[in-house]
């Protein structure tokens, strides 16, 4: 088993709650310059089925073993992502949520 982190970062637009207040494309460019980040995407709602499908495809395509979702606070969404991504081999501690929405 390879323990080297392969990190995917997914930025949530959250409808009109985040995107008008932050330039997510600049954040994405900065993330992609980080050597530890293997992929980064901007999604309208990563917590809904179409967004979760994109994340799942990126996990498979890039062999991701760590996922960061920047959107709502973790107490609202972390357990949902842990349940959904468990089938992809991600466990507790390999998924994290950054609260953009609460800070903009």
**How is residue 88 written in tokens?**
């992809």
Q: At 69, which helix (H) or strand (E)?
A: strand 66-71
What is the average pLDDT across 34-51?
A: 95
pLDDT > 90 fraction of the chain, expressed in percent and rounded: 78
Q: For 66-99, what is each residue's pLDDT tens digit?
A: 999 999 888 878 999 999 999 999 999 999 999 9
Report how far residue 95's alpha carbon sits from residue 74's, in angstroms, rounded to the nearest whole number: 10
pTM for the structure as a whole: 0.92
In which band, very low, low, confident or very high, does the pLDDT at 2 lie, cut at 50, 70 and 90? low
In which band, very low, low, confident or very high, does the pLDDT at 15 lie, cut at 50, 70 and 90? confident
């Amino acid at each position: 088993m390879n323990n080297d982190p392969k990190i995917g970062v997914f930025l949530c637009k959250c409808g009109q709650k985040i995107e008008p207040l932050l330039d997510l494309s600049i954040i994405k460019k900065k993330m992609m310059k980080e050597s530890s980040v293997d992929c980064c995407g901007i999604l309208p709602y990563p917590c809904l089925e179409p967004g979760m499908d994109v994340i799942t495809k990126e996990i498979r395509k890039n062999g991701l073993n760590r996922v960061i979702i920047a959107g709502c606070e973790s107490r609202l969404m972390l357990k949902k992502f842990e349940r959904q991504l468990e089938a992809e081999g991600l466990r507790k501690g390999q998924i994290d949520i950054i609260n953009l929405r609460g800070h903009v």
